[in-house]
Structure formats: structure tokens, C-alpha cells
């Protein structure tokens, strides 16, 4: 009659899992920034800019999946720190085109290295199968809650 785990514990375990994921994410955010010197979102923006010559803010916004307002503010700061340059589009005066500066292009390599190192540490001890399954589960959780 005994299953592996009483049904009443399942709820508790899953709640604990959610809580653990929440805490893990907070840890990751904090440590990522500490190790790399830049936040995940900010580096994500730079990452997309790196792969392209120029990009409108809206395109960028859709790629990195951050609010319009947040993009504007990130880019302002990145511009102020000399990492990116912005200019109005000639064809459509509403759009602002963004690109990495030379300085930004060289600095991002350093950030990427730190990021890779961070990830290596975070995932050390994980087998290839585990990583695949983890990616799969993350994807499925995303799917499951995307309907709401």
C-alpha cells in the first residue's frame, strides 16, 4: 500500500523545490554580477549587439525580453560608460539604432570569459545527460506556465 512517498508530502516537496529555485536564482544573480562585473541582463544586451552591426532598440528589446523602459535605461547607462553608441535612423526618425563601440566590442570579450568561467563553476559535476535533461525541464516549465 505504500507508494514511494505519501501524497501529502509531494506538495511540500514541490513547494520546497520552487523555493529552492527562487533562492538559487537570487544567488546566481548576485554571484554572476560579482564574478563578471556586470549584470545578466546588461550582458545579454551587449551579447546581442555583438553579433550584429546595428540594431533598433525595439528589435533588441524583443531579443532580450526586457521591458522597453528598462532597455532605454540600460542603454543610456551603457552609452554613458562608452560601451555603446546610439543614433537616429535616417529612414525612420522614430527608431534609435544602437551598436557597440570599439571599446564595448573589446570589453565584452572579457565579460564573456568571466561568464563562461562562472558557468563552468556553476555546472561543474554535471554530466552531459543531466545538462540536457535540465535544459529540457526548464523548457517544459516555461511552457507549462506560459499559458497563464
Partner DNA sequence: ATATATTAATTGACATATCAATCATTGATA
Partner DNA sequence: TATCAATGATTGATATGTCAATTAATATAT
Minimum Å gap between C-beta 116 and a copy of itself is 5
The answer to whether 148 contacts a copy of itself (rule: CB under 8 A) is yes
Q: 5, 24, 30, 123: which one contacts DNA (CB under 7 A)?
A: 30
Which of 66, 135, 122, 58 lies closest to 92 in space, CA to CA? 58
Cβ closer to DNA: 1 or 69? 69
Q: Which stretch binds DNA (CB under 7 A): 10-18, 33-41, 99-107, 115-123?
A: 33-41
Segment 68 to 127, residues that bind a copy of itself, using CB under 8 A: 115-116, 118-126
CB of 130 to a copy of itself, least distance (A): 6
Phi and psi based region of residue 44 (left: phi greater than 0; alpha: psi -120 to 50; beta: remaining): alpha
How many residues touch DNA under the rule CB under 7 A: the total is 29
The backbone torsions φ and ψ at residue 74, rounded to the nearest 5 degrees and listed phi first, read -60, -50
142 binds DNA (CB under 7 A): no
Report the helix count and the strand count for the chain, using DSSP H and E. Answer: 6, 3
Amino acid at each position: 500500500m505504500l507508494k514511494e512517498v505519501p501524497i501529502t508530502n509531494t506538495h511540500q516537496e514541490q513547494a520546497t523545490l520552487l523555493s529552492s529555485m527562487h533562492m538559487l536564482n537570487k544567488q546566481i544573480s548576485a554571484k554572476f554580477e560579482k564574478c563578471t562585473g556586470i549584470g545578466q541582463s546588461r550582458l545579454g544586451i551587449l551579447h546581442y549587439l555583438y553579433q550584429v552591426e546595428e540594431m533598433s532598440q525595439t528589435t533588441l528589446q524583443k531579443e532580450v525580453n526586457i521591458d522597453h523602459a528598462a532597455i532605454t535605461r540600460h542603454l543610456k547607462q551603457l552609452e554613458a560608460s562608452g560601451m555603446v553608441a546610439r543614433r537616429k535612423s535616417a529612414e525612420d526618425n522614430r527608431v534609435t539604432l544602437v551598436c557597440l563601440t570599439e571599446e564595448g566590442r573589446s570589453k565584452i570579450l572579457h565579460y564573456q570569459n568571466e561568464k563562461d568561467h562562472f558557468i563552468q563553476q556553476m555546472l561543474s559535476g554535471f554530466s552531459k545527460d543531466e545538462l540536457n535533461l535540465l535544459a529540457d525541464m526548464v523548457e517544459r516549465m516555461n511552457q507549462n506556465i506560459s499559458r497563464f
